[in-house]
Chains A and B, each alone.
Chain A
Amino acid sequence: MKQLSADIVLGILLVLTFTSLVLLAAGAPVFAAFQNIWLGSFGSSMKIGQVLNVCIPLIICSCGLLFTFRANLWNIGIEGQIIMGAIGGMAVLRMDSISNPTLLLPLAFIAAMVTGGLWGLLAGLLKTRGGVHEIFGGLGLNFVSQGFILWLIFGPWKRPGIASMSGTELLKHKLWLSTLPGWRIAIAGLVIAGIVFLLTWLLLEKSRLGLKLKAIGQNPRAALLYDISPEGYYLLSIALAGACAGMAGFLQITAVYHRLIPNISSGYGYLGLLLVMLAGYRIGPLPLLALFFAGLNVGAIQLPIVLQLDSALSGVIQGCCVLSALFILGLEKKRRQK
């Protein structure tokens, strides 16, 4: 425990030092930049609402990624899985034949989960059947889904008259997920994130599935001897991750943007990968770290306006956190060996 807190303090020092150096190199006021991020993320109840809106899809994606990481798979295709989930959900929401939102929204939710899951399954099949490493299969599929969503936004689903990067037409107001009174957070989003989190915890820590995934992740050949077929579990874990990503995509269109935009995934898939790495591939620290990452994302939005800095600073801090954590982990492993 003592060691852990020492590590955390060292990590925070490393990140603060590196970020300050980067800010100095850009000729920016260091203190003001940090202050702006803080005020821009947790400074008012409206900002906190925005942070939670980032936090919710991030947690859902990260939970999905825990399954693939447990099986030692690098599900880089998660970005595409979010996009496909959003597209799948949107396809249902655009149906004119059903007008009852209490029927349409759950249908869209299921469609998003299924398309996301299938897209994940495709990357899994490329690995198990095609001999393609999941990183490259996933990347290829990310590019495909990126092209697909652009085609939809500029082609068949374009706004009447003008097609633009700003996306499709807004959804009808009754298809927006209802929000907490006074807040702009969808209640359904909070509930879904909570359920996904609990289910992931149960499945990974308390069920045979979690144990088997772990066995495969650590030694696929030995797992085979225990009559666990790696192929089936690879596919299952990546489909689960895809389904989670699909849910995140659904929330992006029904709770946040209320339309389809080219950048509908908002990079949450890659951010989720970083997040899970920083959490040491464990579920416990996820919510708190997700809140931290989401705060950085939202807090950096106003940097260009107030300080004329690029909002990519949040990504710099997030990446630096993960590398510092890895660095400290490596140092410790080395020390223990001596």
Chain B
Amino acid sequence: MIADLPVSVLIASVLAASAPLIIIALGETLTEKSGVINLSLDGVVLFSAMAAFAAAKETGSLGAGFLAGGCAGMITGLIVGYLSIYLHLSQVAVGFALSLLCRDLAYFLGNPYSRIQGPTLLAARLPFHDTLPSFLQNILSQPLTVPAALTLIALLWYFFNATRSGLALRSVGENPAAAFARGLNPNKVQMLAVLAGSFLVGLGGAAYSLSLKPGWGRPQGAEGIGWIALALVIFGGWHPLRVALGAMLFAFLQVSGISLQNIFPSIPAQVFQTAPFPLMIFTLIFMHYSTRKSRISTKPANRLQRRLGLLFMSRAPKSLGKSYQQE
């Protein structure tokens, strides 16, 4: 394994580090399934992280912090939704401008809160903690964000595949005109998806400043995460489980970077901190490219390959990024 890190500690830190990213990436998955790209993620994560920390600090309550983070995310979602769904502006342009605005807004408003102690969500111990073998003890003592993120994967999968509203959302993302003909209101469905998705992104941002990287500062440590989440959604093929697995892969790269630092002391630490970002994006690109090629080639020979093919098959919601004008 990497350096002298016990496997259980490695698994535990990967889970903990991936939880906020999973929540953020799944929030964006929800939004994109309805056909809207919310490109403002990177700034929104910081903005909601700041709002969450400030609210938690002022009220002394973690719950209020998470709620504030979610609401901060939702407000940005309102802007993205209104400008891109109702005013039919370019989703990329709106998202990019909003991303930079939110980042700087977070730095500006968060200034009085930087580098101070505040409430932190700590790892919770299970009631039967002491009866477990130490291997499991390491893995299972996690902050609440971890079980929440894992549950969200299942919930979202269930929502997309087994509920009527999930079907409605997907049909709007595929073909809003047809969905309209079936009596749905595509704009309303998209707006709801953007609001719910950005609420989740806000919660993910809160999970950074209240749990994984407690506190606020410039830089906070969640910079760049939003872009990674956006990439994960695309290369995870808009499938909740694969998006979450991608998030775990990224967390693994981050965690192993820290231990690799000890092995190669001659390489500056800053390189290890930035390395996971390009590595992640190029890994995803490589995976995407290789599976695309194999799909174009002949039919899979055996059942295993067919299963694998299904796992890696991805297709964007057909009307992703296009704005729908109701007639």
Contact = CB atoms under 8 A, between A and B. Distances in A.
Contacts, number: 138
B107 A154 contact: no
A33 to B, nearest CB: 11
Interface stretch (A59-67, A213-221, A327-335): A327-335
A18 to B, nearest CB: 10
Contacts of B112: 26
Given A312-B104, A323-B97, A147 B109 contact: no
Nearest to A267: B100
Interface residues of B, number: 46
A312 B108 contact: yes
Nearest to A150: B270
6 contacts: A22-B105, A262-B270, A310-B107, A312-B105, A314-B104, A316-B101
Contacts of A74: 92, 96
Contacts of A274: 97, 100
Q: B89, B108, B230 — which one has the most chain A CB atoms within 10 A of its CB?
A: B108
B89 A143 contact: no
A262 B267 CA distance: 16
B270 A154 contact: yes
Nearest to A314: B104
Contacts of B294: none
Given A150-B268, A313-B108, A323-B101, A277 B93 contact: yes
B160 interface: no
B32 to A, nearest CB: 13
B227 interface: yes
Contact of A143 (B92, B218, B274): B274
Q: From DSSP, what is the main secondary structure of chain B's interface residues?
A: helix
B179 interface: no
Nearest to A334: B87
B266 to A, nearest CB: 8
A78 B87 CA distance: 28
B278 interface: yes
Interface stretch (A92-100, A134-142, A242-250): A134-142
A114 interface: no
Interface residues of A, number: 50
A161 B231 CA distance: 40
Interface string A47-89: 0000000000000000000000000001010000000000000
B111 A310 contact: yes
B265 to A, nearest CB: 12
B227 A139 contact: yes
Given A26-B109, A139-B227, A320 B270 contact: no
Interface in A126-171: 126, 130-133, 135-137, 139-141, 143-144, 146-147, 150-151, 154-155, 163
A219 to B, nearest CB: 14
A308 B108 CA distance: 10
Contacts of B277: 140, 143
B285 A326 contact: no
Contacts of B103: 312, 315
B292 interface: yes
Nearest to A136: B231
Contacts of B89: 326, 329-330
